[in-house]
Amino acid sequence: MILDDFLVRAALAGIGVALAAAPLGCFVVWRRMAYFGDATAHAAILGVALSLVLSTSIFAGVLVISLAMATIVSLLSGKGYAMDTLLGVMAHSALAFGLVAVSFVSGVRIDLMAYLFGDILAVGKADLAVIWTGTALVLGLMGWRWSNLLTATLNTDLAHASGIDPKREQLILTLSLAVVVAVALKVVGVLLIAALLIIPAAAARPFSRTPEAMALLAAAIGATAATGGLQAAYWLDTPTGPTIVSLAAILFALASLAGNARRKAWRAEPPR
């Protein structure tokens, strides 16, 4: 059976995470929420520790803690601290508490590197089912609320005038982000999840005339980085998660150069 090949499972896992991260990553870029993604992702280690202590599913533990972290950050925003300060404190505190909590788990051998940087080559059929279920959930949520999310992102006053509750749309983004963090843990690890969210969306931005085009292009760039990084890691014998993100960064650099060249060409054209 084709899914018995570990490279096929790894490729499908990478593509699934890329598809889930693409539309959400666009909103992270538009809303300038990069640190928000970081804080939620770093909390995942605490979720891993909780799952091991309670002998429950790693996915469930990470999902609950990531959602809790995202909700706490949303509630504390605007309460006297600058957002970047609050997110910086929450992100690094969550990671530190998670690593300390993991050290107290006895009787279980824990590969911290796999959780920090991912272990996509160890993805099994059950993991694949979880990843694609999470991807379907995120894509369904994004498709259902796309217009409302865009309106709330562009202008909160316009959203209120249209009968849209920006707080509710923020909650939907929060839920989606927690799901993406939970499904991406196995692929790129907690330290690189934010990069997989932001880099493909940022690379797609110079070539996109509409939000929908940016989301689709970000998905294509993310999938290319996932499959290409997997192949490169296999050939070069390098860590897979970091190699995927490195390829995404190269694609971003190329997209930036191409975007700058195109803008210069437009400016150099004589007026008609």
CATH number at residue 62: 1.10.3470.10
Please report whether residue 204 resides in a domain: no
Whether 231 is in a domain gets the answer no
pLDDT of 122: 85
Render the chain in DSSP notation, one character per residue: -GGGSHHHHHHHHHHHHHHHHHHHHHHHHHTT-HHHHHHHHHTHHHHHHHHHHHT--HHHHHHHHHHHHHHHHHHHTTSSS-HHHHHHHHHHHHHHHHHHHHHT--S----HHHHHH--GGG--HHHHHHHHHHHHHHHHHHHHHHHHHHHHHH-HHHHHHTT--HHHHHHHHHHHHHHHHHHHHHHH-TTTHHHHHHHHHHHHGGG-SSHHHHHHHHHHHHHHHHHHHHHHHHHHT--HHHHHHHHHHHHHHHHHHHHHHHHHHHHHSPP-
Confidence (pLDDT) at 264: 74
* 185: containing domain: 2-190
207 found inside a domain: no
Check residue 80 and give its pLDDT. Answer: 62
Does residue 133 form part of some domain? Answer: yes
Write down the pLDDT at residue 56. Answer: 82
Please give the pLDDT value at position 116. Answer: 79
Q: How far apart are the first and last CA of the chain?
A: 60
Q: Cβ(206)–Cβ(256) under 8 Å?
A: yes
The answer to the question of residue 250 being in a domain is no
pLDDT digits (tens, 9 = 90+) for 198-220: 999 999 998 888 999 999 999 99
pLDDT at 67: 83
Q: What is the pLDDT of residues 4-35, one digit of tens each?
A: 578 888 999 999 999 999 899 999 888 877 77
Q: Judge whether 66 lies within some domain.
A: yes
Largest pairwise CA distance in the chain? 75
Total domains, the chain: 1
Rounded CA-CA distance 216/195 in Å is: 18
pTM of this structure: 0.87
Residue 210 lies in a domain: no
Q: What is the model's pLDDT at position 79?
A: 64
Beta carbons within 8 Å of 252's beta carbon, 6+ residues apart: 199, 200, 202, 203
Stretches where the chain sits below pLDDT 50 are none
Note whether residue 211 is domain-resident.
Answer: no
